[in-house]
């Protein structure tokens, strides 16, 4: 028998959709502008320092990222729109329009798409976009607005999803950005001819980010669905051959090829990106492809990266932090993979644990405390997007995006 407590924690899709609408309203009231996870280098205090120092940059960036409270206001970090976040918001609005036939949602989506198009980076072979803040790594500093495949992939997703030719034409040009500016090249793998690409135009060709490659394949799946161009299907297949060839025996993926190139292990949401890309390829192009790869990946993802309660683990070794982005990505993967019951369990864990009310989601649950602040893309955009996708995805999995 279901206990009263369990009954109270269980929600309907109508309630989940209402929370998604509130999350969108929260963002709209703030013009979709806010803080982002790695935006510490935008600090006006840091920019006032007369010398450029890598270690000072890292100290400020990582302090903003890791502090238990939001210290960005103290460092005078400006709030701004994020292109990936705007892309997720745009698709969430389109989902609401599909559910409710309210043209205000479609209008809001198109306003965001117009802004995304206006942020296109010039000087590259096709449409591309990147983060609007600089990022410091141990090796180098990436300037603000450097385009990358991940941001571009989500922008393309939103432009294709609109169903409006002028946006779709812009999206299609992103293929040339990949082919020309991201060191795209074919290689031989144990699965046959594969292909890989760099994360951004300035990336080293000595290492490759696996989830970024998978999202590059996802970009070409979206373009194939829109145009029917077989070359796009071939590109997606070749990139996924490369990614599949780097699957760990456990079923997951390390962050980079080679694995030694990054300290990140088989973490939650990056593995989710990869699995989603394979599932999307199978739904749109070839339902018989990559079956063993996806089966192993879903088993690893479900048993190693989630608790039975729906709570996301950080990676295959660490429970905490339990991150709102990981929860959102899990909702998407299991909904698309035809496992809506578990997707809803993750959604309800996120709402019960990290929802502040009034449309606002918190960032992370740590072992002894919760980071009770909101990052606009990381929290609001991802949860609005994932909840609306959950409600609008057929119970047997994704058919089209």
- List the one residue out of 327, 335, 263, 334 whose CA is nearest residue 297: 334
pLDDT at 392 over 50: yes
Helical (H) or strand (E) element with 290: none
pLDDT band at 191 (very low <50, low <70, confident <90, very high): confident
| Radius of gyration, CA atoms only, the chain | 20
How much is the pLDDT for 10? 63
The 10s digit of each residue's pLDDT in 332-364 is: 999 999 999 999 999 999 999 999 999 999 999
Mean pLDDT for the stretch of residues 359-381: 98
Whole-angstrom distance, CA of residue 290 vs CA of residue 281: 9
Q: What is the mean pLDDT of residues 305-326?
A: 98
Domains and CATH numbers, the chain: 11-37+79-392 (1.50.10.10), 40-78 (no CATH)
- CA–CA distances in Å: residue 374 to residues 11, 33, 194, 331, 355: 23, 11, 40, 19, 10
Report the DSSP beta bridge partners of residue 357.
360
Mean pLDDT calculated for residue range 10-17: 88
Can you give the pLDDT at residue 397?
74
pLDDT, one tens digit per residue, over 67-103 is 999 999 999 999 999 999 999 999 999 999 999 999 9
pLDDT for position 101: 92
Name the pLDDT band for 398 (thresholds 50, 70, 90).
Answer: low
Mean predicted lDDT score pLDDT of the chain: 95
State the residue for tokens 């939650």. 268
pLDDT exceeds cutoff 50 at 370: yes
CA nearest 194: which of 237, 231, 223? 237
CA distance 308 to 129: 37
**Dihedral angle sign, alpha carbons of residues 336, 339, 342, 348:** positive
Q: 139: pLDDT confidence band, cut at 50, 70 and 90?
A: confident
The 10s digit of each residue's pLDDT in 146-190 is 999 999 999 999 999 999 999 999 999 999 999 999 999 999 998
Phi, psi of 342 (to 5 degrees): -75, -35
Of 348, 313, 324, 332, the closest CA to residue 390 belongs to: 332
Could you give the CA distance from residue 143 to residue 130 in angstroms, rounded to a whole number? 10
Compute the distance between CA of residue 296 and CA of residue 173 in angstroms, rounded to an integer.
Answer: 34
> Over the stretch 230-272, which tens digit does the pLDDT of each residue have?
999 999 999 999 999 999 999 999 999 999 999 899 999 999 9
Instruction: Judge whether residue 195 has pLDDT over 70.
Output: yes
- Reading the block at residue 12, the tokens are 């309907």
Mean pLDDT of 199-227: 97
SS3 214: helix
DSSP, collapsed to helix, strand or coil, labels residue 385 as: helix
Per-residue model confidence (pLDDT) at position 281: 98
Say if residues 208 and 246 touch (Cβ distance below 8 Å).
no
Does 5 score more than 60 pLDDT? no
Q: How many CB atoms lie within 10 A of CB 69?
A: 11
């Amino acid at each position: 028998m279901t206990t009263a407590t369990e009954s109270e924690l269980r929600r309907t899709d109508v309630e989940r959709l209402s929370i998604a609408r509130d999350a969108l309203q929260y963002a709209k009231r703030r013009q979709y502008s806010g803080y982002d996870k790695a935006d510490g280098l935008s600090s006006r205090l840091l920019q006032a320092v007369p010398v450029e120092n890598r270690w000072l940059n890292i100290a400020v960036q990582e302090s903003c990222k890791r502090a238990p409270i939001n210290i960005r206001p103290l460092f005078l970090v400006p709030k701004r729109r994020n292109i990936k976040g705007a892309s997720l918001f745009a698709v969430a609005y389109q989902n609401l329009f599909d559910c409710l036939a309210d043209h205000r949602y479609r209008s809001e989506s198109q306003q965001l798409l117009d802004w995304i198009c206006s942020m296109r980076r010039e000087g590259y072979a096709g449409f591309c976009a990147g983060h609007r803040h600089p990022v410091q790594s141990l090796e180098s500093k990436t300037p603000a607005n450097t385009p990358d495949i991940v941001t571009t992939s989500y922008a393309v997703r939103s432009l294709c999803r609109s169903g409006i030719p002028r946006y779709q034409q812009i999206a299609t040009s992103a293929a040339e950005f990949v082919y020309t500016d991201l060191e795209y090249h074919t290689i031989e793998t144990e699965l046959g001819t594969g292909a890989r690409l760099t994360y951004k135009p300035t990336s080293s060709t000595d290492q490759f980010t696996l989830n970024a490659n998978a999202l590059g394949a996802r970009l070409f799946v979206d373009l194939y669905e829109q145009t029917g161009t077989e070359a796009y299907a071939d590109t997606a297949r070749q990139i996924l051959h490369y990614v599949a060839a780097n699957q760990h025996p456990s079923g997951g993926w390390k962050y980079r090829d080679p694995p030694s190139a990054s300290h990140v292990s088989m973490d939650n949401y990056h593995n989710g990106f990869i699995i989603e890309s394979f599932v999307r390829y199978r739904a749109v192009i070839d339902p018989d492809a990559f079956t063993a790869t996806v089966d192993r990946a879903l088993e690893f993802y479900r048993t190693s990266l989630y608790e039975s309660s729906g709570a996301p683990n950080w990676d295959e070794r660490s429970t905490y932090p339990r991150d709102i982005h990981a929860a959102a990505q899990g909702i998407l993967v299991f909904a698309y993979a035809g496992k809506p019951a578990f997707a809803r369990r993750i959604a309800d864990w996120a709402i019960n644990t990290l929802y502040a009310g009034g449309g606002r989601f918190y960032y992370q649950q740590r072992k002894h405390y919760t980071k009770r602040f909101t990052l606009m893309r990381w929290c609001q955009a991802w949860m609005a997007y994932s909840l609306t996708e959950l409600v609008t995805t057929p119970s047997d999995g994704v058919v089209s995006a």
